[in-house]
Amino acid sequence: YCPSGSIMRRPIASALGLAGVLVAAAAAAAWVATSPRTVSAEVAAAVAEPGDPEAGKNVFYIAGCESCHMSPGQKDPLRLGGGMELKTPFGSFFPPNISSDLRDGIGGWTSADFANALMAGVSPRGEHLYPAFPYPSYRHMSIKDVRDLFAFLHTTPRVSGRAPPNALKFPFSIRRAVGFWKLLYLPQIDHPIAVDPTDGEALGRYLVSGPGHCAECHSPRDVFGGIIASRRLTGGPLPDGKGKAPNITAEGLKDWSEDDVETALSTGFTPSGDVLGSAMTAVVRSLKQVPEPDLAAIARYLKSYRPGGAP
Protein backbone atom coordinates (compact mmCIF):
# COMPACT_ATOMS: atom_id res chain seq x y z
CA TYR A 1 0.00 0.00 0.00
CA CYS A 2 1.33 3.49 -0.97
CA PRO A 3 -0.03 6.65 0.57
CA SER A 4 -1.68 8.94 -1.96
CA GLY A 5 0.88 11.05 -3.89
CA SER A 6 3.99 9.26 -2.58
CA ILE A 7 4.86 8.02 -6.06
CA MET A 8 4.75 11.63 -7.35
CA ARG A 9 6.83 13.00 -4.50
CA ARG A 10 9.83 10.81 -5.36
CA PRO A 11 10.37 12.25 -8.90
CA ILE A 12 9.78 15.75 -7.58
CA ALA A 13 12.32 15.24 -4.82
CA SER A 14 14.79 13.81 -7.33
CA ALA A 15 14.25 16.76 -9.68
CA LEU A 16 14.76 19.24 -6.86
CA GLY A 17 17.92 17.46 -5.82
CA LEU A 18 19.25 17.56 -9.37
CA ALA A 19 18.35 21.24 -9.66
CA GLY A 20 20.25 21.94 -6.44
CA VAL A 21 23.31 20.16 -7.80
CA LEU A 22 23.11 22.11 -11.06
CA VAL A 23 22.74 25.41 -9.23
CA ALA A 24 25.71 24.60 -7.00
CA ALA A 25 27.79 23.57 -10.03
CA ALA A 26 26.85 26.77 -11.85
CA ALA A 27 27.73 28.85 -8.81
CA ALA A 28 31.09 27.09 -8.49
CA ALA A 29 31.80 27.61 -12.19
CA ALA A 30 30.90 31.30 -11.93
CA TRP A 31 33.13 31.66 -8.88
CA VAL A 32 36.07 30.15 -10.74
CA ALA A 33 35.38 32.12 -13.93
CA THR A 34 35.30 35.43 -12.05
CA SER A 35 38.40 34.76 -9.95
CA PRO A 36 41.12 37.40 -10.30
CA ARG A 37 43.73 36.37 -12.89
CA THR A 38 47.22 37.69 -12.32
CA VAL A 39 49.97 38.20 -14.87
CA SER A 40 51.96 35.16 -15.96
CA ALA A 41 55.16 34.10 -14.22
CA GLU A 42 57.10 35.14 -17.32
CA VAL A 43 55.66 38.67 -17.22
CA ALA A 44 56.28 38.95 -13.48
CA ALA A 45 59.92 37.91 -13.99
CA ALA A 46 60.41 40.39 -16.84
CA VAL A 47 58.95 43.28 -14.84
CA ALA A 48 61.23 42.40 -11.91
CA GLU A 49 64.31 43.47 -13.87
CA PRO A 50 65.70 46.90 -12.84
CA GLY A 51 63.81 49.85 -14.29
CA ASP A 52 65.01 53.29 -15.39
CA PRO A 53 63.47 56.00 -13.17
CA GLU A 54 64.21 58.78 -15.67
CA ALA A 55 62.40 56.92 -18.44
CA GLY A 56 59.67 56.12 -15.94
CA LYS A 57 59.15 59.83 -15.31
CA ASN A 58 58.11 60.24 -18.93
CA VAL A 59 55.69 57.29 -18.61
CA PHE A 60 54.30 58.90 -15.45
CA TYR A 61 53.37 62.09 -17.31
CA ILE A 62 52.04 60.35 -20.42
CA ALA A 63 49.86 58.17 -18.18
CA GLY A 64 48.63 61.21 -16.26
CA CYS A 65 49.07 59.49 -12.89
CA GLU A 66 49.02 62.74 -10.95
CA SER A 67 45.65 63.80 -12.38
CA CYS A 68 43.93 61.22 -10.16
CA HIS A 69 46.47 60.31 -7.48
CA MET A 70 47.82 63.72 -6.48
CA SER A 71 46.95 64.62 -2.90
CA PRO A 72 44.06 67.12 -2.86
CA GLY A 73 44.68 70.69 -1.75
CA GLN A 74 48.25 71.07 -3.00
CA LYS A 75 50.03 71.60 -6.32
CA ASP A 76 52.99 69.23 -6.22
CA PRO A 77 52.22 66.52 -8.85
CA LEU A 78 54.65 64.16 -7.15
CA ARG A 79 52.86 64.10 -3.81
CA LEU A 80 50.73 61.11 -4.63
CA GLY A 81 48.70 60.54 -1.48
CA GLY A 82 45.44 59.93 -3.37
CA GLY A 83 42.00 60.66 -1.98
CA MET A 84 40.60 62.89 -4.75
CA GLU A 85 36.92 62.07 -5.21
CA LEU A 86 35.92 60.81 -8.65
CA LYS A 87 32.16 61.01 -9.03
CA THR A 88 30.59 58.58 -11.50
CA PRO A 89 27.09 57.17 -12.19
CA PHE A 90 28.14 54.12 -10.14
CA GLY A 91 29.13 56.13 -7.06
CA SER A 92 32.30 57.82 -5.84
CA PHE A 93 35.78 56.39 -6.24
CA PHE A 94 38.76 57.60 -4.21
CA PRO A 95 42.08 56.80 -5.93
CA PRO A 96 44.62 55.32 -3.52
CA ASN A 97 47.95 56.53 -2.26
CA ILE A 98 50.64 55.51 -4.81
CA SER A 99 53.52 57.34 -3.17
CA SER A 100 56.64 55.51 -2.02
CA ASP A 101 55.31 55.31 1.53
CA LEU A 102 55.93 51.79 2.85
CA ARG A 103 52.70 51.49 4.83
CA ASP A 104 50.10 53.60 3.05
CA GLY A 105 51.52 53.81 -0.48
CA ILE A 106 53.17 51.30 -2.81
CA GLY A 107 56.64 51.45 -1.27
CA GLY A 108 56.17 47.94 0.08
CA TRP A 109 54.82 46.49 -3.16
CA THR A 110 56.77 44.02 -5.25
CA SER A 111 57.18 44.59 -8.98
CA ALA A 112 54.73 41.73 -9.52
CA ASP A 113 52.16 43.52 -7.33
CA PHE A 114 52.56 46.58 -9.52
CA ALA A 115 52.30 44.62 -12.77
CA ASN A 116 49.16 42.87 -11.54
CA ALA A 117 47.52 46.19 -10.74
CA LEU A 118 48.39 47.86 -14.06
CA MET A 119 48.06 44.90 -16.40
CA ALA A 120 45.46 42.66 -14.75
CA GLY A 121 43.44 44.92 -12.44
CA VAL A 122 44.30 42.82 -9.39
CA SER A 123 45.38 44.21 -6.02
CA PRO A 124 48.23 42.84 -3.86
CA ARG A 125 45.48 41.28 -1.70
CA GLY A 126 44.27 39.32 -4.72
CA GLU A 127 41.07 41.34 -5.20
CA HIS A 128 39.64 42.83 -8.37
CA LEU A 129 40.36 46.51 -8.86
CA TYR A 130 37.52 48.61 -10.22
CA PRO A 131 38.05 49.76 -13.82
CA ALA A 132 37.75 53.38 -12.73
CA PHE A 133 41.50 52.75 -12.57
CA PRO A 134 42.21 52.55 -16.32
CA TYR A 135 43.96 49.18 -16.35
CA PRO A 136 41.90 48.15 -19.42
CA SER A 137 44.24 50.55 -21.26
CA TYR A 138 47.34 50.25 -19.07
CA ARG A 139 47.42 46.49 -19.70
CA HIS A 140 48.62 47.36 -23.22
CA MET A 141 51.76 48.98 -21.79
CA SER A 142 55.13 47.49 -22.58
CA ILE A 143 57.07 45.53 -19.99
CA LYS A 144 59.75 48.23 -20.09
CA ASP A 145 57.28 51.04 -19.39
CA VAL A 146 55.77 49.16 -16.46
CA ARG A 147 59.08 48.52 -14.72
CA ASP A 148 60.37 52.03 -15.52
CA LEU A 149 57.22 53.59 -14.06
CA PHE A 150 57.54 51.42 -10.95
CA ALA A 151 61.16 52.56 -10.55
CA PHE A 152 60.16 56.22 -10.89
CA LEU A 153 57.31 56.01 -8.37
CA HIS A 154 59.84 54.77 -5.82
CA THR A 155 61.65 58.11 -6.18
CA THR A 156 58.58 60.19 -5.27
CA PRO A 157 58.12 61.62 -1.76
CA ARG A 158 56.59 59.40 0.87
CA VAL A 159 53.08 60.57 1.73
CA SER A 160 51.31 59.08 4.73
CA GLY A 161 47.59 58.49 4.97
CA ARG A 162 45.14 56.43 3.01
CA ALA A 163 42.26 57.45 0.77
CA PRO A 164 38.68 56.99 2.01
CA PRO A 165 36.94 53.79 0.92
CA ASN A 166 34.92 53.90 -2.29
CA ALA A 167 31.27 54.84 -1.86
CA LEU A 168 29.47 52.81 -4.51
CA LYS A 169 25.82 52.03 -5.13
CA PHE A 170 24.53 48.46 -4.89
CA PRO A 171 25.17 46.19 -6.79
CA PHE A 172 28.36 47.95 -7.99
CA SER A 173 29.69 47.71 -4.45
CA ILE A 174 30.06 43.93 -4.94
CA ARG A 175 33.72 43.76 -5.92
CA ARG A 176 33.52 40.15 -7.07
CA ALA A 177 31.12 41.29 -9.80
CA VAL A 178 34.07 43.02 -11.48
CA GLY A 179 35.10 39.51 -12.51
CA PHE A 180 32.02 39.28 -14.73
CA TRP A 181 32.87 42.69 -16.20
CA LYS A 182 36.35 41.47 -17.03
CA LEU A 183 34.94 38.42 -18.79
CA LEU A 184 33.02 40.77 -21.08
CA TYR A 185 35.57 43.51 -21.64
CA LEU A 186 39.03 42.36 -20.61
CA PRO A 187 40.46 39.49 -22.66
CA GLN A 188 43.73 38.24 -21.26
CA ILE A 189 47.01 39.47 -22.76
CA ASP A 190 49.46 36.65 -22.07
CA HIS A 191 52.39 38.12 -24.00
CA PRO A 192 52.68 41.91 -23.61
CA ILE A 193 55.15 43.72 -25.83
CA ALA A 194 58.64 44.03 -24.39
CA VAL A 195 59.46 47.61 -25.41
CA ASP A 196 57.66 50.57 -26.98
CA PRO A 197 57.32 50.59 -30.77
CA THR A 198 59.76 52.86 -32.60
CA ASP A 199 57.82 53.36 -35.82
CA GLY A 200 55.96 56.69 -35.67
CA GLU A 201 52.49 55.37 -36.50
CA ALA A 202 52.85 52.35 -34.22
CA LEU A 203 54.20 54.55 -31.41
CA GLY A 204 51.21 56.89 -31.67
CA ARG A 205 48.79 53.96 -31.51
CA TYR A 206 50.66 52.56 -28.51
CA LEU A 207 50.69 55.84 -26.58
CA VAL A 208 47.00 56.55 -27.22
CA SER A 209 45.81 53.01 -26.51
CA GLY A 210 48.18 52.17 -23.66
CA PRO A 211 49.70 54.64 -21.20
CA GLY A 212 47.78 57.64 -22.59
CA HIS A 213 44.45 55.77 -22.12
CA CYS A 214 42.63 58.35 -24.26
CA ALA A 215 39.67 56.05 -24.98
CA GLU A 216 38.76 55.87 -21.29
CA CYS A 217 37.22 59.35 -21.42
CA HIS A 218 36.77 59.94 -25.16
CA SER A 219 34.55 56.93 -25.92
CA PRO A 220 30.88 56.15 -25.28
CA ARG A 221 30.07 53.26 -22.97
CA ASP A 222 27.27 50.73 -22.75
CA VAL A 223 24.98 50.12 -19.80
CA PHE A 224 27.63 48.03 -18.01
CA GLY A 225 30.34 50.67 -18.40
CA GLY A 226 32.25 48.96 -21.19
CA ILE A 227 33.64 50.99 -24.08
CA ILE A 228 31.62 50.59 -27.28
CA ALA A 229 34.45 49.41 -29.53
CA SER A 230 32.88 50.51 -32.82
CA ARG A 231 32.66 54.09 -31.53
CA ARG A 232 36.01 54.26 -29.82
CA LEU A 233 37.41 57.82 -29.47
CA THR A 234 34.22 59.37 -30.90
CA GLY A 235 33.50 61.20 -27.65
CA GLY A 236 31.61 60.36 -24.51
CA PRO A 237 30.22 61.80 -21.26
CA LEU A 238 32.80 62.66 -18.65
CA PRO A 239 32.89 60.29 -15.65
CA ASP A 240 31.23 62.85 -13.37
CA GLY A 241 28.42 63.38 -15.87
CA LYS A 242 29.29 67.06 -16.28
CA GLY A 243 30.12 67.73 -19.88
CA LYS A 244 31.40 65.56 -22.69
CA ALA A 245 34.83 64.55 -23.91
CA PRO A 246 34.96 65.42 -27.64
CA ASN A 247 35.39 63.26 -30.70
CA ILE A 248 39.15 62.93 -31.28
CA THR A 249 39.07 60.70 -34.36
CA ALA A 250 40.10 61.93 -37.81
CA GLU A 251 36.50 63.09 -38.32
CA GLY A 252 36.32 64.98 -35.05
CA LEU A 253 39.66 66.65 -35.73
CA LYS A 254 39.10 67.25 -39.45
CA ASP A 255 39.54 71.02 -39.07
CA TRP A 256 42.75 70.62 -37.04
CA SER A 257 46.22 69.98 -38.38
CA GLU A 258 48.67 67.64 -36.68
CA ASP A 259 50.46 70.73 -35.36
CA ASP A 260 47.15 72.01 -33.95
CA VAL A 261 46.64 68.77 -32.07
CA GLU A 262 50.18 68.75 -30.74
CA THR A 263 49.90 72.40 -29.66
CA ALA A 264 46.62 71.75 -27.85
CA LEU A 265 48.10 68.79 -26.01
CA SER A 266 51.20 70.69 -24.91
CA THR A 267 49.73 74.15 -24.20
CA GLY A 268 45.98 73.71 -23.82
CA PHE A 269 45.22 76.22 -26.61
CA THR A 270 42.96 75.22 -29.50
CA PRO A 271 43.28 76.57 -33.07
CA SER A 272 40.43 79.02 -32.36
CA GLY A 273 42.21 80.41 -29.31
CA ASP A 274 40.03 78.66 -26.73
CA VAL A 275 41.58 76.86 -23.78
CA LEU A 276 40.99 73.19 -23.04
CA GLY A 277 39.20 72.93 -19.73
CA SER A 278 37.54 70.43 -17.42
CA ALA A 279 39.49 67.17 -17.07
CA MET A 280 41.86 68.18 -19.89
CA THR A 281 43.41 70.82 -17.63
CA ALA A 282 45.18 68.10 -15.65
CA VAL A 283 45.99 66.16 -18.83
CA VAL A 284 47.68 69.17 -20.42
CA ARG A 285 49.56 69.86 -17.20
CA SER A 286 51.08 66.40 -17.50
CA LEU A 287 51.64 66.40 -21.25
CA LYS A 288 53.65 69.62 -21.01
CA GLN A 289 56.40 67.41 -19.57
CA VAL A 290 56.31 64.89 -22.44
CA PRO A 291 58.96 64.95 -25.22
CA GLU A 292 57.85 66.50 -28.52
CA PRO A 293 58.34 63.31 -30.59
CA ASP A 294 55.83 61.47 -28.40
CA LEU A 295 53.25 64.25 -28.72
CA ALA A 296 53.83 64.35 -32.49
CA ALA A 297 53.22 60.59 -32.69
CA ILE A 298 49.97 60.94 -30.71
CA ALA A 299 48.79 63.77 -32.97
CA ARG A 300 49.63 61.80 -36.12
CA TYR A 301 47.74 58.75 -34.92
CA LEU A 302 44.62 60.66 -33.85
CA LYS A 303 44.49 62.49 -37.17
CA SER A 304 44.48 59.16 -38.99
CA TYR A 305 42.16 57.15 -36.72
CA ARG A 306 38.75 56.10 -38.04
CA PRO A 307 35.96 54.74 -35.78
CA GLY A 308 35.91 50.98 -35.73
CA GLY A 309 39.63 50.76 -36.46
CA ALA A 310 42.08 48.67 -34.49
CA PRO A 311 42.93 50.06 -31.05
- For residues 172 and 212, membership in a common domain is answered with no
- For residues 190 and 223, membership in a common domain is answered with no
Q: How many domains does the structure of the chain reveal?
A: 2
- For residues 206 and 304, membership in a common domain is answered with yes
Look at 6-15, 25-34, 41-50, 252-261 and tell me which has the smallest mean pLDDT.
25-34
Q: Which of 160, 176, 196 is the last residue of a domain?
A: 196
115 contacts 146 by C-beta, under 8 angstroms? yes
Closest to 139 in 3D by CA, of 65, 209, 80: 209
Residue 161 lies in a domain: yes
Average pLDDT, the chain: 88
Structural domain of 295: 197-311
- For residues 110 and 245, membership in a common domain is answered with no
Confidence (pTM): 0.87
The pLDDT value recorded for residue 172 is 82
- For residues 222 and 182, membership in a common domain is answered with no
The verdict on whether omega for the bond into residue 220 sits within 30 degrees of 0, i.e. cis, is no
100 contacts 108 by C-beta, under 8 angstroms? no
Average pLDDT over residues 239-262: 88
pLDDT tens-digit series, residues 95-123: 999 999 999 999 999 999 999 999 999 99
- For residues 208 and 293, membership in a common domain is answered with yes
